[in-house]
Every structure is written in structure tokens, then in C-alpha cells.
Amino acid sequence: MVDFFNQSMELDFLEPFRDALDHDPGVETTLTPLWREVIWPTEWLRLRVDPVFYGFNVPHGNGEPVLLVPGFMAGDVIMLEMHRWLKRIGYDASLSGILWNTDCPDATAARLLDKVRRIHRETGQKVKLVGHSLGGMLSKYLVQQEPDLIDRVITMGSPFQSLVKAHPAVVGIWETLKLNQMGTVGSNLKPSCATGFCTCGFVQSILQPTKVMPPQFAIYSKLDGVADWESCIEEDAKMNTEVSCTHIGMIVNHSVYRAVAARLSQEIGVQ
């Protein structure tokens, strides 16, 4: 009887702490229009008949290195269209080497950082980072780690604000991956991964970002069905470009391609 009483007292004592851990201070679910995401293939079709796809009426590069970073649950395959397009308009574009972006973001960032260093060493130039969704968040972490090696960052639909707002379905998939790790899918995930409770460099860079010199541009859409657009914008409005497209469509949308070309060619210090 005494043991039961003591256990009950202990459980009562722990209850407030359990309640506190029930809410992730870094992530909030929000009912974005997820249903709109089904139309993203039409955006791909629209892109292929637009002059921007063939490199017309957009500024071109001069062989500058660009690294593309895919979003959550995506890989280099989904970035191939933009990769080929960047090469057409004069950039030395590289893929990230990510097959399936479901690993611990901190571990993924470490591999990306090695790639940035290698590209910089081989080209002798600073690297331009273009990241979609989680890929943009990873890119913003990389520029805080190696600002001297990175020319600029362009995020596309990336909820990088300290309070990440995303659709419950996406948050739920992330939680499921952490509970059901298999093979290379989520192999390094821990219960706290990508939550406000995590103390890794990636999470801390979002919660408490340090100021760095390379400019960071954001492309966002109020029609985004996955991430709340207010989580995807820089505080300085001049660094933001609004487009009208779905979240998935960011990687194949004609207006996004125009925005990317403009930001890639923009002179540093010119807004």
C-alpha cells in the first residue's frame, strides 16, 4: 500500500513535465491547403512551354557553382529538372548526393558541408545554395557554418522561422519515421530530432540564427499546401519574392525559375 502511494506521488510529480514535453516549442501544425498539392504536375507542364525553361528572358550565369538541396522525403531525382535548367543558363550546377532526405538533419548537413568545401576547393569560387523546403533550412545552417565559402542562399518554400509551421500530415510523417526506422530511412533519427527540444547545431541555427554576411533570399507562396508561408519569409521584405504555386511545384514552376535566375545573378548589396 505504501509502495502504491509512493508511486502515485511520483507520477503526480512528473505530470507537469510530461505536459510540457507534449508541445514542441519549435514546431506548430497549421491547416495549410494541402489538397492543392495534387495540381503540381500541371505546373511542370506549364514550365515546359514557358520561355524561361529554354533560358530566354532571364539573366545567365558565367559558370558559377550552384548546389541544389532537396526537401523532406525527396532526393536529387526531384531536383534534376532545375539542375539541367541551371546548366542551360550557364551555371555549374551540382546535386547534393541525397537519395532520400529523411535522415537526421544535423547528419545530413555534415555531409553537405563536406560537399560545399569540395566544390569550393575544386572551383576556387564561393558556392551558391538553392534549397527547397527542408533543403532550404539545411542551406541556411550551412551558411552559418561556413559563411566564407558560400556566396548566397536561396530558399524555396522553406519554413525556417524559429517556429516552424507545417501541415499536420507532414509533421505526422516525421514522427512516424522516428518511430519506424528502417535501413537508410531515418537511420540516425532520435526522438528529439528536428524538434525544439533538440540541442544539435541544425535546430539551434533555426532557433537562434547567427548573423552572417552572405545574403539569404526567400521564395514563398501563399498557396503553399505544406508550409505556412509566414514561416518561409525573411524579416527584410526586400529579400523575399512571392510566387503563386504549390509547395511541391516550387521545383518546377516557371515563376520560381524566374525568381531563382534573378536572385542568382543579383549583385551583392543590390536589392
221 close to 244: Cβ distance less than 8 angstroms:
yes
Mean pLDDT of 97-107: 87
Report pTM.
0.81
- Asked if the model's pLDDT at residue 43 lies above 50, the reply is yes
**Where are the strands (E) in the chain, listed by range?**
27-29, 65-69, 92-95, 127-132, 150-156, 164-166, 216-221, 240-243
Comparison of pLDDT for 91 and 174, the residue scoring more: 91
Mean pLDDT for the chain?
Answer: 82
What lies within 8 Å, CB to CB, of 82 at 6+ separation is 68, 93, 130, 251, 252, 257, 260
Mean pLDDT of 83-90: 98
What lies within 8 Å, CB to CB, of 168 at 6+ separation is 29, 31
Domains located in the chain, CATH noted: 31-52+61-265 (3.40.50.1820)
**Mind listing the pLDDT tens digit for each residue in 166-205?**
655 555 455 555 555 554 555 666 655 655 556 677 877 7
27 close to 228: Cβ distance less than 8 angstroms:
no
What is the reported pLDDT for 179? 56
Q: Residue 194 has what DSSP assignment? A: T
